[in-house]
A and B are shown apart, each in its own frame.
Chain A
Amino acid sequence: MRKLVLAAALTLPMLAAPALAQDTLKIGYIDPLSGGGASVGEIGLKTFQLLADEVNAKGGIQGQKLEIVPLDNKTNPQESLIQLQKAIDSGIRYVTQGNGSAVAAALSDAVAKHNSRNPGKEVLFFNYAAVDPILTNEKCNYWHFRWDANSDIKMQALTSYMKDKKDIKKVYLINQDYSFGQSVRTQARKMLGEKRSDVEIVGDELHPLLKITDFAPYIAKIKASGADTVITGNWGQDFALLLKAAADAGLKVNWFTYYAGGTGGPTAIKQTGLDHQVFQVSEGVANGGAPGAIEVEKVLRAKYDISNFYPRAFNQIRMLVAAADKAKSTDPVKVAAALEGLEFDVLNGGKGFMRKDDHQFFQPIYISSFGSLADKSMFDDEHTGWGWKVEAKVDTPDTMVDTTCKMKRP
């Protein structure tokens, strides 16, 4: 009898837990928290946790408390599906992920399947950083929403900026060997060819994703090719270690990148001594001067000693709140409907909107370069004394690209 009471005392609170869940809205954060992608995954997690705190301080979403549930996927699609199932089983209706387009594609498929088989228990997938265009084109799906500009949009902006730089003559492409890296290389070839037919592509490299510890052999190859400019979509340690090897070898070229601002990137750039020769295309940097961006930058630095690498995460969570307010519900089906076509004032200033046709978010895109700061009041990164400077801005209408998506609506 005593054992029974004890067992009941232990299990009853567990049974009561789902009842409590009504008061919290959980977002499953499925991203690498171990392995080669961990450094970026941790930054993303901290950013989302800060956002949850922000939302909860303002009274939550439709009265519900927002909670971020970290689920480690080791940057592996297979592991991600297990984590997704785990999330669904524990009653989570929103998942977010960003690192790795192969992972995003697997999640998008799985969520679509789950939703068609379990009406009334729909799950939404918010993609904050996986930028393979395929996710909002051939493989688009109603339950997937992407806040980051896709790779084509970014390459369009990068090449438009490179077009007027006459000192660019020989370009080397180095990318990670998976769907995203491959799309960067094809688009770079295509768009550079259209805009600057005089530019010669002197190398086109694909290397294993997050497995290389020493990029010296690759740097030797770039050097031997005589390139003056490198385009890379590398992220996480693949960018930091690439630049570290470049610094060691004293490679002096222009770098056009997607993710130079990730963990370790700024430190490595400073080591190369390339002052304002490393460019990044993104949805904005705090040094761009938007008051909202400056404010969150200060909070993130004070709380976690990191800079804001994911302004899109802010747009994502704040839009979730706006959509829930509009729908007067946190039910995923209603929120999804409310998100379609929703206009929003983005963190870095200006207007963005969630395109109904493919669920791709469009927003102003900036090219910035990393180097010494003219103004002491500006933010530096990773205590290097160097920071980002906005070089060019592409407004929302000019970032629009066509989509082949034929959305199937429920």
Chain B
Amino acid sequence: MLELIVISTLNGVLFGMLLFLLSSGLTIIFSMLGVLNFAHASFYMLGAFFGFQLTRWIGFWPALIIAPLLVGAIGMAVERYGLRNTHKHGHVAELLLTFGLAYIIEEIVQLIWGKGPMDYRVPAILDFPAFTIFSTNYPAYKMFMLLISVAIFIGLLVVLKRTRVGLIVQAALTHPHMVGHLGHNVGQVFMLVFGVGTALAAIAGVIAGPALVTQSDMAMLLGPILFVVVVVGGLGSLSGAFIASLLIGLVQTFAVSMNGSLASLFGPLDPSIGPSLLTDVWNVTIAQIAPIIPYLLLVLILIVRPMGLMGTRET
């Protein structure tokens, strides 16, 4: 039992940190531009595919730097030439733009790389078990993912809280007009933030690609859960996104490891009732409903605390 708890905690934290890498960019973009960037997970996918391709050509380590820069540049171009023009038509137009963008990116990825999974391998230097705990190996690469995520979290926190750029960004989060009136180029700040946000997603893509799966449906698999993180964590709150990511990572991992069902709690139903919808509900295990638990959380949070765990304003 202890073994399962320790391993599940490790796995949960790891998945949570990956979610954080993705949602940190999304939540900042959301709070600054007011745009729920539907294409955010697509930038994550672009990161993974660029990472895969560049790894083929020049190796993993240069790819880890170059792929996010490329994706960040694409993100900035999207903000500059797409979102900024649609901005005057309101949030719905912006939302639709990112929605369409998600589909376009998926189609382009399929055109170039096909629909099957890519053979994106963990770099040889990290392809060994880091440590063995309860006779289960823990791969060094996963430790590396964890380290990168933590490093980025700390880096982001320092930049936002301790530097001048962070000050302006934070001010623009709550009072964009005031920041503009003070003479800052809010447009440029927005573009930069969008670029950094998408580049963060791309970093997540480059490092998650070899560990999970690099395939043209990876954006659609991960996309919806990011919105859960952002809403649960609270709009524009980096620490909220951090807590929500870890929470959802742990909840999902632990739910998988639980076999409890209503039947095991209250005993099996009287067999004379026969099979029905009720017996289905009665016998379904927590592990089976694990994938929908985050969405349940989303609904609950929206009802009980609409601004999210750490959010300060309601939108």
Interface mask (B85-118 → A, CB under 8 Å = 1, otherwise 0): 0000000000000000000000000100011110
Among B119, B138, B212, max chain A CB count under 10 A is at: B212
Tell me, in angstroms, the Cα distance from A241 to B215 when the chains sit together: 12
Q: Which range contains the number of A residues in contact with the other chain?
A: 20 to 34
- B229-288 interface with A by 8 A CB criterion: 252-253, 256-257, 287-288
Inter-subunit contact A33/B117 (CB<8 Å): no
| Minimum C-beta distance from A179 to chain B (A) | 14
Q: In the complex, are the beta carbons of B253 and A211 less than 8 A apart?
A: no
Contacts of B7 in A (CB 8 A): 220, 223-224
Contacts of A42 in B (CB 8 A): 114-116
Q: Which of B107-139 touch A at CB < 8 Å?
A: 110, 114-117, 119, 129, 132, 134-139
The answer to the question of B198 belonging to the interface, with a C-beta cut-off of 8 Å to chain A, is no
- Closest CB of chain A to B141's CB: distance in Å? 8
CB distance from A356 to the nearest CB of B (A): 32
Known: A206-B288, A237-B213. A213 touches B218 (CB 8 A): yes
Contact, CB under 8 Å: A264 / B117: yes
* B40 proximal to A (CB < 8 A): no
> Complex formed: what's the CA distance from A216 to B16 in Å?
14
A198 contacts partner chain B, Cβ-Cβ < 8 Å: no
A221 touches B257 (CB 8 A): yes
In the complex, chain A residues whose CB is within 8 Å of the CB of B12: 217
Pick from A205, A211, A214, A223: contact of B211, CB under 8 Å: A214
Contacts of B11 in A (CB 8 A): 214, 216-217, 220
Known contacts A249-B136, A250-B137, A33 near B115 by CB under 8 Å = yes
Query: Which residues 2-35 in A have Cβ within 8 Å of B in the complex?
Result: 33-35
Contact (A220, B4) CB under 8 Å given A35-B217, A36-B217, A241-B213:
yes
CA of A177 to CA of B288 in the docked complex: distance in angstroms? Answer: 8
Complex contacts, A217 vs chain B, CB 8 Å: 8, 11-12, 252-253, 256-257
The verdict on A344 contacting chain B, using a C-beta distance below 8 Å, is no
Is B291 among interface residues, defined by CB-CB distance under 8 A?
A: yes
Contact A224 B3 (CB under 8 A): yes
Answer whether residue A339 sits at the interface, using C-beta atoms and an 8 A cutoff: no
Residues of A within 8 A of B136 (CB): 220, 223, 249-251
Which residues A159-209 have CB closer than 8 A to chain B?
177, 205-208
Given contacts A33-B115, A211-B221, A263-B117, whether A250 and B132 have CB atoms under 8 Å apart is yes
Closest Cβ of chain A: how far from B216's Cβ, in Å?
7
Q: How far is the CA of A248 from the CA of B136 in the complex (A)?
A: 9
Which residues of B sit under 8 angstroms from A205, Cβ to Cβ? 287
Q: Inside 8 A of A248's CB, which chain B residues have their CB? A: 137, 139, 142
Given contacts A214-B15, A220-B257, A237-B213, whether A34 and B8 have CB atoms under 8 Å apart is no
Q: Report if A84 contacts B (CB, 8 A).
A: no
Whether B287 pairs with A213 at a CB distance below 8 angstroms is no
Query: CB < 8 Å: which of B4, B115, B119, B222 contacts A213?
Result: B222
Contact between A214 and B116, CB atoms less than 8 A apart: no
Determine the distance from Cα of A224 to Cα of B132 in the docked complex, in whole angstroms: 14
Interchain nearest-CB distance for B49 vs A (Å): 15
Q: Which residues does A use to contact B, with CB under 8 Å?
A: 33-36, 38-39, 41-42, 177, 205-208, 211, 213-214, 216-218, 220-221, 223-224, 237, 240-241, 248-251, 263-264, 267
Q: List 29 A-B contacts (CB under 8 A).
A: A34-B115, A35-B220, A36-B215, A38-B115, A38-B215, A38-B216, A39-B117, A41-B115, A207-B288, A211-B291, A213-B213, A214-B11, A214-B15, A214-B212, A217-B12, A217-B256, A220-B136, A221-B256, A221-B287, A224-B1, A224-B4, A240-B117, A248-B139, A248-B142, A249-B136, A249-B137, A250-B132, A250-B136, A263-B117
